[in-house]
Structures are given as C-alpha cells and as structure tokens.
A and B are shown apart, each in its own frame.
Chain A
Amino acid sequence: MSKKPDAPASGARRRIVQGALALPALTAAPWVLRYAHAQGDLGAYQSAKVDWRQAQGEQITVAVIPAGYFDALIAVTPEFEALTGIKVRYEKVPPGQIRQKAILDLSSKGTTYATHAADPMYYDLYVSNKWVEPIDKYLGDAKLTDAAWYKPDDMIPAWRGANSVKGRLYGVPFDGESTLQIYRKDLYDAKGLKPAETLDDVMKNAKAVHDPDSRVWGAALRGFKGAGQNMYIYPSIFRALGGEWFRGGSFNGNSKEAVAALEWYVELLSKYAPPAVRNWNWPDLADAFSQGTLGLYIDANTSASVLNNAERSKVLGKIGYARWPKGPSGKRVSSIWNWGFPINAALSDKAKRATWLFISWATSAETQARTSWKAKGPVKRLGLNRLSLWESKDFATLAGGLGSNFLQASIDSMRQDLDVEWRPRMPQWPAVGETMATAIQAALVGQQKPKEALDEAQGRIAQILKS
C-alpha cells in the first residue's frame, strides 16, 4: 500500500516532464524531421559543387509516358523539390501521342513542357527547327554542372551518340534498353538447343520448338505497324545483313540487303509465329511469352521485369536471354532506344537552368540508383543509363533473379551491339519511319511482296525528301 500512492504521482510527474520536453520538439518536429530527412537523403547530391538552389521558385512541367520507370522517378521527385526549391509537375501522355504533343508545344513556341521524354529519332527534327538547346552548354558550365560528380561520360556512349546531332548532345538519356533474344530455356534445353548465334539459327531453333498443336509457336517479333513497332525490329535485321540507310547521301531503303531483311522477317513470322502477331506490339508479345506460348521473341531487355511478374507469368524460372543473333558479317545490332530529356529552347533562362538541374538530377547516378534497387516502391527500374551501375553489385542482386544470362547478355549487348546508325537518322524520320513501317506491314500481311513493298516505300520517300 505504501508504494501505491507514490506511483501515480511519479508517473504524473514523468508525464509532465515528458510533456514539457515534447512540446517544443513536437512543434519543431516537421522542420527537424524534414531537415534530418533532407540531411540524410540529399547529402549525396549536396556533395556536388553546384548551387542546387539557383533556380528556386521556378515551376517546370515534364511530359512523360505512363510507365513504371517514370513512376519510380515521380516517386523520388519530392527529394528534388526539397533539394532545389523547384516545383515539378508531371504530365503523363500515352506513348502514341507524346511525340505529337511535344511537337505541337515546341513548334508553337509554347512552353508547356520544359522537357519531355523524347524519342532519340526526333532530335534531328528538333534541331533543324532549333526547338531544343544543345546540352553541352550546360555540361560545360561549372556553375551548372560539377563534371566530377555528374560523370557524364559514364552514361552509355551509344545512347549519347543516338541523342546527338552532328556530335552535339541534345537530350540526356534517362532510361533505355538493348534488344535481346528472350527464349524458353526449358524448351531449348529439352531439345538440346543453344540460343541462336546467327539469323539462320533463329529460323532453325524456331522450327525445332514450333508446335502450334500444343500451343507453342517457334518465334515471334513485333508485327504491328509503326515506327516503334515493326520499324523497331526491322532495322536490326537490316543492319545485321550489312544494310546501309544512305548511299551517296540519299536514302536507300530498297537495297538487296533491305529486301533480304524483310524476306527473313516475313518468313520467320509466317512460318513460326501465331497468326495474330501482325497486330502485336511488345506488350502482346510479353503476354504471349508469359503465357508460355512462345519459344523465342526478340525484344527489349527491360521486358524482363514484366516476364517475371509472379502473378501473371507461367514461365518463371524458365527464361533465358542472349544477344541479338549475328548477320553474315558477324555484326549484331541492338536498338539504341532510350527516353532522353531535352531542354525546350523557348524557355526563359531561369527556367532553362531549372530544367537542366532537373535533368542532371534525374540522370545522375544517385537518382538512377534510387529509382532502381534503392527504390521504396514496387517498381525497380532496369533501364539504367550508366554502365557503372549495370556492373554494380547492387544491380546484379536485383537483376539476378530475372532469368538465365540476363545481366551478362545485357551488358555485352550494351557494350558491343548498340548501333547509333540503327535507324536512318534524319529530320524527316517521322515520315520515313511511318512509310517504312507501312511497307513492312504490307509485306508481313502478304498484301505485297517484300521487294514490291520496299520499292514503293523508296519511291514515296524519295518524293517526301524532294526539296
């Protein structure tokens, strides 16, 4: 009994003392927490010798496509806002429309988008209209870039090359891919097959595993019409067969290599792919492969995350990866696809600086890591823009579970197979790409013979280019 009366009193005193301490702490908490948070999280950026707050108060709008890798960026953007005092608004535009929307904005000198996720094939168009700023201006300015911290040369060289016009960089790669063979290791192993080394092997392997009666088709490729669909696959075949897009300065789309490439494409799809493949883009291919109905398809290495979705994939643990098969000259040609960020030339100087700070933040090694293995959300990006990150231990842990040989095939491919001249780089690309895509589809569906389709496309492109 003697202890008991004491207990509440001391308890009450303790509560009061705690309360007294807690009160200022509580009122200060948001500031303290934010400060602590900022200290912990932003240190990696603040070690750069750049005044991150030089454009504070600016607001910029960034157009991106609805995709996991941009969601990961959006998720960490509050850190950028805390670091710089620049407000970022994102606008998600479907991939089919982002080019048109960006062109509309750029050509009307509107400044709706300070930067946008840009297609590497569009820089020639942008630059010939002077719609975007050369990036070297920003890279070379010590007030804006601490080169020792940012390490621009660490970014995948072919992506930088693809985003350059006449040697000057116009868009900084944020996320990209290389193209790989994605095959069913279990089916290949059962038949004693090795992943294809050459284009001929692709045909042989497809034949060996082709069994439509049990709903397995030998191989499939993007068949849908579009510059980013069938005209994504075709250039790799064309280049592997030794094709050159230009001869004597003029477009050359119906050479014998071009016809051979299209014939190979048509043969593979008509013999070994499901009939609907001519309407398929990469998500359809990924679905079909996840359902176990494809022996092989050749597509972006970043599809690996979709194929390993445990809820939807029936091929977990059965996936293998290999580089694009070689052509007769031994050349393997991967796409140089990447989403880059250019700077809208119509912006005010301060907004340009704010945009550059955003771009350099988003494409820095630190943010790349924070949107990949360090990401807190469900999406952990794969398409990182720096080889040093691809070769890091942390990334290897993340990529280890994606299937056999994923990491090595990706790294080899990015080191050796990326081809800057993969597609014809020219300001007229939108029309040229579209015309080629239409011709390829006409051949794929049997409306025209490959040579006939390409001759017609060549004639039309010659007409388009006529000045």
Chain B
Amino acid sequence: MTNPRKGERRFALALFLPALLLLVATTTLPLVYLLWTSVQRIDLSMPWLTGFAGLANYAQLGGDARFWSSLGLTFIYTATTVVLQVVVGLALALLVMQVRVGQGLLRIAAILPIVLAPVVAGLFWRSLVLAPDFGVMDFLTRALGLGSYNWLGDPQLALLSVIAIHTWQWTPFAFLVLLASLAALPPDIYEAARLDRAGPWQRFWHITLPMLRPAIVIVVILRMVTALSAFAAIFAATGGGPGTATEILNLYAYRLSFTELNLGYGAAVATVLLVITLTVSFGLFALRRGR
C-alpha cells in the first residue's frame, strides 16, 4: 500500500524540480561563486598572487577613496531618481485622471520609454538629446538664450544628465501604477469629503495620499532596486565619466573586474552592492508590512 498523499507529494516535487534546478543553476550558483570569488585574490594582471585572501578584499574597501565616492554617487543617484519618479509620476497621474478623452493613448505613449532597452536609451540621449551643438537639449537652451553646454562632458552636468535619463525612462512606470491605483480609489469617500467641505489640498493630503500609500511603497521598492542595479544607460551615455563623475557602484565593480581584471576585488564591491540592495528592500518591505 502506497500512501496516496506521499505519491502526490512526489509528483509535485517532480514537477517542481526542473524549475528549482534551473533557478539554482542560474541564480544561486553564480551568487555563491561571486561570494567565493570575493574572498580570493584573483587578479589576472598579477597571476602570481592568486590565492585565498579571506576578508582582505573587504578590508581594502575601507581605504579605497574611489569606492567611497562611488558609493556616495550610488546613493545620490538612487535617491534622486526614485524621488523624481514618484513625484513626477504622481503629478502626471493626477493630471491624466482629469483627462477624459484620449487617456488610452497617453498610457500607450507612457509605455514607450519603458520598453526601450536601457542601452538604447543611453545612446539615444547621448547622441541625439545631449550632444553639444547638435542635440535637442542644446538646441532648446540656445533658443532660450541660456547658451550651449557640454552635457555629458562636464562632471556636474553629466550626473544631472544620467539622472534625467533614468528618470525619463522609468517615470512612466510610476505613472502607470499610480494611475491605476488612483482609478481604483472609491469615489464615495471623496463625495463625503466634499460634503464636509474639504478643499482639494486637504483631499489630496488626507485621502488620496494615504490611500495610495501601498502603491507608492511598491513603486519605491521596485524603482530603488532598478536604480541600484542601473548600468547599461550610464555605461552607454558616459561610461562612468567624465573622470569618475557618474561611476556608480555597479560601474565601478564592472571596471574593476573586466577592465582592470581584478576579479576578486571587483566581486567584493559587487557583494557590497548586493548587501545594500537586499537591506534596503527588506527594510522597505518591513515598513510596508508594519502598517
């Protein structure tokens, strides 16, 4: 007599196993390999030093000025782009809610930047929008009498530019999610508020915002993870330059591993980024559950 429940479990396991194995092979193993690499000294340009390094790579981070400036840039980049996306996305959603005709078209238009590959977005901005003399942006600033700027060649402007590129590409995501949530808000609460003579600002502050809260938190989490793992658009637009002005942690890890060939140290930097991303995500999820 075989236990039917046992057989069922076995069958379930058999169905589940291929997916699990695939997941382990494509995500867990590389992750373990990354951690393992980060405690080795693997520098292809100095093969004679190869060996177990313990935490030496992590210790080295402390004295690496470029790592700290890169970490700072990552925070600036992430915070700015996420705040901008939520604020602009929410403003757009509120505006579009008022539009009665053609809302569908606006939604389709909003999807376009999202479906572009980030590397394409980066190249597009680099060569068509921000190029000095020929770019759309320069055309605008000159037409407005503000003069011509080297958008990607000046350290401060370059940072602003890559923030603008990321915001441009991903604000539509925030916009669409918030628009959908706005549309789902129950109209009777607003009617009641109006009867109680709540002004538009009061309605927004005390009703709309609290009710959108879950949607906003989700948007913030997702956008934050995307911003922390941003790579292709910056790589295509500035390559981390000029100098190191836009070299966020991701680009620094890439440069260490694949340009400087210091794989062990590059893995340590990538691990730090991984820990930061996980901490931030868990923190935000906890915040969401807490309420």
Contacts and interface: CB of A to CB of B under 8 A. Distances in A.
Interface stretch (B96-104, B150-158, B169-177): B150-158
B261 A441 contact: no
Contacts of B65: 456, 460
Interface residues of A, number: 33
Contacts of B245: 447
Interface in A61-110: 100, 103, 107
Contacts of B131: 276
Interface string B75-90: 0000000000000000
A151 B222 CA distance: 64
Contact of A103 (B63, B133, B243, B261): B261
B260 interface: yes
A276 B132 CA distance: 6
B243 A430 contact: no
B148 A103 contact: no
A213 to B, nearest CB: 14
Contacts of A464: 260, 262
A456 B69 CA distance: 13
A441 B241 contact: yes
Interface string A428-457: 111100110011011011111000010010
Interface residues of B, number: 32
Residue among B45, B46, B244 having the largest count of chain A Cβ atoms under 10 Å: B45
Nearest to A448: B243
Nearest to A275: B150
B92 interface: no
A248 B161 CA distance: 44
Residue among B154, B244, B255, B261 having the largest count of chain A Cβ atoms under 10 Å: B261
Contacts of B150: 275-276, 278-279
Contacts of A456: 65
A431 B261 contact: yes
Interface string B250-276: 000001001111100000000000000
A224 to B, nearest CB: 8
A467 B242 contact: no
B29 to A, nearest CB: 17
Contacts of B49: 467
Contact of B243 (A129, A279, A441): A441
Contacts of B154: 445-446
Contacts of B48: 128, 467
Given A275-B150, A276-B131, A445-B243, A100 B258 contact: yes
Contacts of B148: 275
Contacts of A107: 44
B9 interface: no
A467 B45 CA distance: 11
Contacts of A129: 44, 47
A125 interface: yes
A435 B64 CA distance: 13
B169 to A, nearest CB: 21
Interface in B16-50: 44-49
A463 interface: yes
Nearest to A453: B243
A225 interface: yes
A442 B242 contact: yes
Contacts of A445: 153-155, 242-243
Contacts of B44: 103, 107, 125, 129
Interface in B43-61: 44-49, 60
Contacts of A447: 155, 242-243, 245
Contacts of A428: 45-46
Nearest to A276: B132
B239 interface: yes
Contacts of A442: 155, 242-244
B219 to A, nearest CB: 34
Given A276-B133, A447-B245, A448-B243, A430 B153 contact: no
Nearest to A435: B260
B111 to A, nearest CB: 31
B10 interface: no
A242 interface: no
A103 B257 CA distance: 12
Nearest to A437: B241
A427 interface: yes
Nearest to B149: A275
Residue among B63, B65, B152, B153 having the largest count of chain A Cβ atoms under 10 Å: B153
A430 B45 contact: yes
Contacts of B255: 434
Nearest to B42: A107
B102 to A, nearest CB: 40
Interface in B115-134: 131-133
Contact of B242 (A100, A128, A278): A278
B66 interface: yes
Residue among A276, A429, A434, A456 having the largest count of chain B Cβ atoms under 10 Å: A276
Contacts of B242: 225, 278, 441-442, 444-445, 447
Given A445-B155, A447-B245, A430 B261 contact: yes
Nearest to A459: B65
Contacts of A125: 44-45, 261
Residue among B60, B243, B258 having the largest count of chain A Cβ atoms under 10 Å: B243
A100 B133 CA distance: 33
30 contacts: A103-B44, A125-B45, A125-B261, A128-B47, A129-B44, A129-B47, A225-B241, A275-B148, A276-B131, A276-B153, A278-B150, A278-B153, A279-B150, A279-B153, A427-B46, A429-B45, A430-B45, A430-B259, A430-B260, A431-B260, A431-B262, A439-B243, A445-B153, A446-B155, A447-B243, A447-B245, A448-B243, A456-B65, A460-B66, A463-B63
Given A430-B261, A460-B65, 14 more contacts: A103-B261, A225-B241, A427-B45, A427-B46, A430-B259, A430-B260, A431-B259, A431-B261, A438-B244, A445-B154, A445-B155, A447-B243, A456-B65, A467-B46
Interface of B: 44-49, 60, 63-66, 131-133, 148, 150, 152-155, 239, 241-245, 255, 258-262
Interface of A: 100, 103, 107, 125, 128-129, 225, 275-276, 278-279, 427-431, 434-435, 438-439, 441-442, 444-448, 453, 456, 460, 463-464, 467
Please give me the 6 A-B residue pairs with the lowest Cβ-Cβ distance, nearest first.
A442-B243, A431-B260, A428-B45, A445-B242, A276-B132, A278-B153
